[in-house]
């Protein structure tokens, strides 16, 4: 198994199309409470084939040099996937072109909310980014109504810079930034 980063409690690794991963991905992304803050008219998944297609889209999305991605965050204690974490190039206004702006993000299974997993994985990915690239600025983009994700961004030491519309097809997102020390 390829491990992207490890923390005390979690392994960040690629999602697979194995039955356990697909079932967990579907279980998480079929829930309205997970999709509540997704933009662009996104709707909860209706079947496992949509989960498989989601994985294909994530893999095809690409990144510069294969460094970035959207991965599973797995509990080291239980082997259960607690959610999705990512560090990736933000998509531009056409939602297909990748910008040079770097985003850290997270989506957790509702049973794993409130346990610090989003902060833990995002912090590890940020540290990985600082250690291995020249990136000077990392963004978190959040639905303006998503107070829980805003709180994660603040715990990461990110600064709120307000609403922006220059990514994700022009959708309005609340933006936080973290500058390299």
- For 147-173, the pLDDT digits (tens) are 999 999 999 999 999 999 999 989 999
Res 64: pLDDT: 64
CB under 8 Å to 107, separation ≥6 — which residues? Answer: 28, 29, 34, 83, 84
Res 66: pLDDT: 76
Res 41: pLDDT: 79
Mean pLDDT of 11-22: 96
Radius of gyration of the chain (CA): 15
Task: Give the range among 55-69, 107-121, 146-160 with minimum mean pLDDT.
Answer: 55-69
Mean pLDDT of 78-107: 93
d(CA 38, CA 40): 7
Q: Per residue in 149-178, is it b (16+ CB within 10 Å) or e — as a string?
A: bbebbeebebeeeeebeebbeeeebbbbeb
Res 178: pLDDT: 98
Calculate what percentage of the chain has a pLDDT beyond 90. 85
| Cα 72–chain centre separation | 9
Mean pLDDT of 104-112: 98
Q: Are 118 and 83 in contact (CB under 8 A)?
A: yes
Calculate what percentage of the chain has a pLDDT beyond 70. 98
Res 167: pLDDT: 94
At the topology level, CATH places domain 5-179 in: Aminopeptidase (3.40.630)
d(CA 130, CA 62): 20
**pTM for the whole thing?**
0.95
Residue 58, Cβ density class (10 Å: 0-12 exposed, 13-18 middle, ≥19 buried): middle
């Amino acid at each position: 198994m390829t491990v992207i980063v490890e923390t005390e409690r979690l392994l960040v690794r690629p999602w697979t199309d194995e039955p356990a991963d697909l079932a967990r991905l579907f279980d998480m992304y079929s829930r309205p409470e997970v999709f509540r803050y997704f933009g662009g008219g996104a709707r909860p998944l209706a079947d496992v084939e949509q989960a498989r297609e989601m994985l294909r889209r994530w893999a095809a999305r690409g990144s510069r040099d294969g460094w970035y991605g959207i991965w599973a965050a797995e509990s080291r204690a239980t082997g259960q996937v607690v959610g999705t974490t990512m560090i990736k190039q933000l998509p531009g206004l056409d939602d297909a072109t990748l910008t040079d702006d770097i985003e850290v993000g997270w989506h957790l299974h509702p049973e794993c909310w409130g346990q610090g997993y989003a902060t833990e994985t995002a912090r590890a990915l940020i540290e990985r980014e600082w250690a291995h690239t020249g990136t000077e600025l990392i963004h978190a983009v959040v639905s303006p109504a998503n107070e829980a994700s805003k709180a994660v961004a603040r715990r990461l030491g990110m600064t709120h810079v307000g609403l922006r519309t220059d990514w994700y097809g022009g959708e309005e997102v609340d933006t936080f930034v973290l500058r390299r020390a």
